Structure 1
Amino acid sequence: REHGGAWEYQGVAEMKNGWQTKTLDQISTNLDSRRVPITRGVRSVGKYPYYGASGIVDYVADYIFDENALLISEDGANLLARSTPIAFPVSGKYWVNNHAHILKFENPATQRFVELYLESIPLDDYITGAAQPKLNQTALNSIPIPFPPLPEQQRIVGILDEAFDGLARATANAEQNLRNARALFESHLQSVFTQLRGSPVVPIGDVAEVFDGPHATPKTVDAGPVFLGISALQDGRINLEATRHVTPQDFKQWTRRVKPQADDVVFSYETRLGQAALIPNRLECCLGRRMGLVRVNRKQLDPRFFVYQYISPPFRKFLDSKTVRGATVDRIALKDFPSFPISLPSLPEQERMTSRLDKLRAETQRLESIYQQKLAALGELKKSLLHQAFSGNL
């Protein structure tokens, strides 16, 4: 049955002849009592890996283990987030601190079988602590493991490893293709705006008005006008997937300085520098903190052309030269922004270049969508294979 968005493999012993349900203390030896934590200040640097909850933390001058084993995260946010593996094999000479359980198995196939199984299931029901999630040894030992005979374990592990090798290659190819599509667009932006060096150059303030939003954050609500934060700016577009909203009363207050309208350009002047986007039609929104707004003179400057120039490598390089490095965040001085120079070819030339860039961007987005869908499909295929394997149907 499905539990928490992932599969729970229960009752496997009844489903598949010869399978049993075991716990980890029945099929492995726990070596936790041999772990020794070493604080950073007293570690002697050396060649031996020093493991923690999510892998290698450091390299030290000595070791306490010299054997094949499976490490399982004992604590940390990753037990719930699962952004990196929570079960990983170790071998050779190494040291383990008290943030990872260490289990030794009689057979490498059993170790790999358990590793794959633990990576395929949610562990929420076995974890304690909200601020600092923890999987203690008692809870770890209570996790039921579907346990077929050794030859079946070996067969399943062999099939999965071969399939996962192929999936890893396909995933790497799709990720590279995704990077290539984005790099192609970046390269074209670089080429287009490098070739503009002979065009007239004017300060932004000569062809546009620059505004700033309130230096505060209102209380957000579930519905209403959009509160536009800097996280919504993504490569020249506004992404509203994680939209926050404000009340009509706060919207009125937050738009006293400027009320964003279609074709205004919004940009970040702190942290995510070099990001800008057009306000789309019919978007009722107000500016968040660290957001600026440019309202261009349409008789002189195409707002789409301005966005492309803003996110182009040459302009981002210029912004970098004007960046004030802070202890916590980097920023550009908004008072200086109107004096920043931009290239200003004729309006027909701007429109011609923008049209060409629009077409290339549309093609880039089409390719990105294809590769992202492929990556999602590969991820689902891996989940499906794991479900089949541990349900005894592989």
Structure 2
Amino acid sequence: MRGWQTKPLEEVTYLAGRIGWKGLTAKEYTDTGPLFLSVHSLNYGDWVDFRDANHITQERYDESPEIMLQANDVLICKDGAGIGKTGIIKSLPEPATINSSLLLIRAQKDLLPKFLYYALSSPSFQRIVQERIEGATTPHLYQKDIRQFSISYPSLPEQKRIVAILNEAFEGIDAAIDNTQANLAAACELFESHLNSTFLAMAHNCENIPLEDLCSKITKGSSPKWQGINYVEDPGILFITSENVGSNKIILDKKKYVEEKFNIKEKKSILKKGDVLTNIVGASIGRTALFEIDEDSNINQAVCLIRPKKEKLSGIYLSIILNSPFFRRILHENEVNNARANLSLKFFRELKIPTPSTENQRELVSKIKTLEEDTFTLQTLYQRKLDALQELKQSILAKAFRGEMTQDEIAT
């Protein structure tokens, strides 16, 4: 690229991260004081957002002057799930610093801050990031490596021109992204609202019957470790845990198997097609799915098995109703929070379910399935649009950092 220079980042920027022994724990967070930023602050577009920031004491802030943030500083995530994410500080609402997952990169005299931000966000730089972490057990960017990453840049007037073009182009794209995200959220909310109003009305208009009167079995599994039973490769007993129970679907991306003797010791929780499974421990409490797999299977202690009497209760109806906002709220209100949130089998046996005739249950499931499919179609369309808009941004950035940026090209 004619007129452009290429240098290591350390020659044209100031870089600093939190020193390991100065790391903070959540116990040290305070209600007021300097802001303490994490990768969450890079989740809301170009500008660093302070809505999720914690606070620390003035003393802890003062001990790390090298990472006291300033307006126009660029931040990059160097480890964890958000590795490679970037953000630029527009202004500081109050003094702020960063946690150990972020790195401060401050433009020096040869770089405009926004040009630096765009350069670090560009496909070429992000490709370098991915190459460095590929194959790593724990992805991490080391500060010493980042210092040596190359950055190409033109004169300051040309940087200013490129930044102005990118700002204008991205303003329109970001507005389209915001509108599409709002439409995507609205589609989800509409479906949730329909479910909520449907089951709220049913709770008032139908007979509400305890689950134990509608089911032949309500039980839970146990831990193989408690039984002295090992995990094995297939063949074995398919072992369903809470991570396999999604909302109205069984997730088997990673199948687990235990020794066949588990089904001898734990006969009560052997699964049958048509069983309803719901999570009763931890963050996924209430997530419910119909089990329709034709394979010898069992469950652990975090999953409740509910076996409906077919002449009284449809399994898919029960799965949908337990996943509805109305019943999720009931489930969460009845959590017992000891070391870990959980729901008891007694709670499920006594849980009253609005129970229309089985024919009406089938009709209701059919209507909800149709609405769910329509909602999914809308979500897919909006997600494709979001993906296309993000790809467009990356395409424009790639062109800019190949030195091919002109106003006319972006306008078209």
Same fold (TM over 0.5): yes
Equivalent position SS for 1:123: helix
Aligned to 1:377: 388
Aligned to 1:10: none
Aligned to 1:186: 192
Aligned to 1:198: 205
Residue 306 (1) aligns with residue 318 (2): yes
Q: Deviations over 1:209-231 (max 9, x none)?
A: 21312234753658876533323
* Candidates 154, 172, 176, aligned match of 1:170: 176
8 Å CA contact 2:87, 2:117 repeated in 1: yes
Residue 264 (1) aligns with residue 257 (2): no
In 1: Cα distance, 2:170 partner to 2:337 partner: 44
Letter of the aligned partner of 2:273 in structure 1? A
Aligned to 2:155: 149
In 1: Cα distance, 2:246 partner to 2:96 partner: 42
In 2: Cα distance, 1:193 partner to 1:228 partner: 28
In 1: Cα distance, 2:231 partner to 2:160 partner: 56
8 Å CA contact 1:212, 1:291 repeated in 2: yes
8 Å CA contact 1:232, 1:239 repeated in 2: yes
Letter of the aligned partner of 2:109 in structure 1? E
The Cα shift of 1:103 comes to 2.2
Equivalent position SS for 1:337: helix
In 2: Cα distance, 1:32 partner to 1:333 partner: 46
Q: Structure 1 length normalisation: TM-score?
A: 0.77
8 Å CA contact 1:24, 1:140 repeated in 2: yes
* Candidates 129, 136, 141, aligned match of 1:123: 129
Q: Rate the CA distance shift 1:257–1:342 in 2: closer, same or farther, 3 A.
A: same
Equivalent position SS for 2:337: coil
Equivalent position SS for 2:269: coil
In 1: Cα distance, 2:74 partner to 2:13 partner: 12
Residue 207 (1) aligns with residue 211 (2): no
In 1: Cα distance, 2:37 partner to 2:119 partner: 21
8 Å CA contact 1:30, 1:103 repeated in 2: yes
In 1: Cα distance, 2:311 partner to 2:287 partner: 24
* Match runs of 1:132-143 below 5 Å: 133=140, 135-136=142-143, 138-143=144-149
8 Å CA contact 2:8, 2:150 repeated in 1: yes
Letter of the aligned partner of 2:115 in structure 1? F
Q: Rate the CA distance shift 1:207–1:68 in 2: closer, same or farther, 3 A.
A: closer
Residue 323 (1) aligns with residue 302 (2): no
Aligned to 1:7: none
In 2: Cα distance, 1:178 partner to 1:117 partner: 30
Q: Rate the CA distance shift 1:86–1:130 in 2: closer, same or farther, 3 A.
A: farther
In 2: Cα distance, 1:282 partner to 1:183 partner: 34
Q: Deviations over 1:22-52 (max 9, x none)?
A: 122333356889xxx7979999987765667
RMSD of Structure 2 on Structure 1 (CA): 3.8
Residue 70 (1) aligns with residue 73 (2): yes
8 Å CA contact 1:126, 1:135 repeated in 2: no
The Cα shift of 1:87 comes to 4.9
Bigger CA drift: 222-231 or 374-383? 222-231
Letter of the aligned partner of 2:220 in structure 1? D
8 Å CA contact 1:223, 1:245 repeated in 2: no
Bigger CA drift: 40-49 or 66-75? 40-49
In 2: Cα distance, 1:331 partner to 1:131 partner: 31
Letter of the aligned partner of 2:223 in structure 1? H
8 Å CA contact 1:264, 1:278 repeated in 2: yes
Q: Structure 2 length normalisation: TM-score?
A: 0.74
The Cα shift of 1:297 comes to 1.0
The Cα shift of 1:356 comes to 1.2
In 2: Cα distance, 1:364 partner to 1:98 partner: 39
Aligned to 1:20: 5
Q: Rate the CA distance shift 1:312–1:150 in 2: closer, same or farther, 3 A.
A: same
In 1: Cα distance, 2:39 partner to 2:199 partner: 47
Q: Deviations over 1:78-105 (max 9, x none)?
A: 4xx3268345336567454685435242
Q: Structure 1: which 5+ runs fail to align?
A: 1-15
Letter of the aligned partner of 1:82 in structure 2? G
Letter of the aligned partner of 1:234 in structure 2? G
Aligned to 2:292: 280
8 Å CA contact 2:224, 2:262 repeated in 1: no
Q: Rate the CA distance shift 1:234–1:382 in 2: closer, same or farther, 3 A.
A: farther
8 Å CA contact 1:267, 1:291 repeated in 2: yes
Q: Rate the CA distance shift 1:39–1:179 in 2: closer, same or farther, 3 A.
A: closer
Equivalent position SS for 1:244: coil
* Match runs of 1:343-354 below 5 Å: 343-354=354-365
The Cα shift of 1:256 comes to 3.3
8 Å CA contact 2:276, 2:290 repeated in 1: yes
